[in-house]
Amino acid sequence: MTSSIDIQQAKILVVDDSVDNAHLLVEALKISGFCNVSWTNDSRDVYAMHAKNHFDLILLDMHMPYLNGLQIMEQLRGIEQDRYLPVLAITGDSEFKIAALQAGARDFLMKPFDIIELDARVRNMLEVRLLYNAVQEQSRIQRELAMHDSLTGLPNRRLLMDRLHTMMQHAQRSRQHLAVLYLDLDGFKPVNDQMGHQAGDELLKMVAQRLLHTVRRDDTVSRLGGDEFVLLLADVADIATVERLAEKVLRYLSSPFIVQDRPVKITASIGIATYSHDIDSDCESLLADADMAMYQAKNRGKSRYFMLNKSAVLA
């Protein structure tokens, strides 16, 4: 529910080539309790002002020099990606009123206008706009949650596979290489069993932060679930680059973690699979190869990495 305070604090822009008319509108809005009102009498400024401030409502005079209201609304479509134009068209021409609504204006106000009508239309439009913004933000949050691990905030399997698919396509086009590192924590289960799940969750969040500090900006750190993490390394030049990062991960994770004021030591087994533009593979197969390599590392004594077909990759 949108509160009256939210409405009164909404960002409003008044656009009118007549300075007197603009001042009249601004003063009327302030008398009605709106406290965040800007104005301009130059139609050429509207696009830049809205791009910077993202106004909740634009009171737009339709008849102005340089750019008329319809031309301004066409410009604003480039900012409003969802095509929602928060425009209240102001005109004395009934034909222009119809054109404004057809162009995307949400409402209109005929000149000469009544102050009470102005207040009512502005409040109604702002309530709709703010509710719309809230719904859009909630949808964005839901999409974000659907793509991220709720504990660590890292990309989950769904987002991981989406990024891996994109990276493989890029590698094909640019004739580059990428690597997948599949991590399984060694010694995590005793922490869960002996110190409790809350301690285990704290440890997983700490591991996530350390992993984020090991990778480059264009790489991805994700959590599949449990104590399994996957790193996607983009545009790797050679095997040595991948091995250096794997060694860095092992080194970062080997330092004790402080969980509930107690030092906790864990290690990791890392499986590595690589992809080259001339290899026929898909996302699931590449991830499965990295998983298989991880078990090879674990079988060889843990706290190490293992790379499948080392002699054949990144040649």
Task: Note the pLDDT of residue 263.
Answer: 96
Which residue intervals of the chain are DSSP H helices? 4-8, 19-31, 46-53, 69-76, 94-103, 115-147, 157-174, 188-195, 197-212, 239-254, 283-299
The ranges of the chain with pLDDT < 50 are 311-312
> Whole-angstrom Cα distance, residue 136 to residue 35?
24
Mention every residue, 6+ apart, whose C-beta is less than 8 A from residue 211: 183, 221, 229, 231, 249, 252, 253
4-146 and 157-307, same CATH topology: no
Task: Note the pLDDT of residue 311.
Answer: 43
Tokens of 203: 């440890």
Task: Note the pLDDT of residue 48.
Answer: 97
Length of the chain: 315
- Asked whether the beta carbons of 305 and 250 are under 8 A apart, the reply is yes
Tokens of 220: 């991805």
pLDDT tens digits for range 273-289: 999 877 778 999 999 99
> Whole-angstrom Cα distance, residue 79 to residue 286?
39
Eight-state DSSP code of residue 263: E
* pTM to 2 decimal places: 0.64
- Asked whether the beta carbons of 235 and 218 are under 8 A apart, the reply is yes
Task: Note the pLDDT of residue 106.
Answer: 93
- Per-domain boundaries in the chain: 4-146, 157-307
List 184, 186, 227, 289, catalytic entry: 227
Task: Note the pLDDT of residue 187.
Answer: 94
Task: Note the pLDDT of residue 137.
Answer: 85
Task: Note the pLDDT of residue 83.
Answer: 75
Task: Note the pLDDT of residue 310.
Answer: 56
Is 227 catalytic? The answer is yes
Task: Note the pLDDT of residue 312.
Answer: 45
- Looking at domain 4-146, its CATH superfamily turns out to be Response regulator (3.40.50.2300)
Residue 228: C-alpha distances to residues 54, 85, 308 (Å)? 41, 45, 19
Task: Note the pLDDT of residue 269.
Answer: 97
Architecture per CATH, 157-307? 2-Layer Sandwich (3.30)
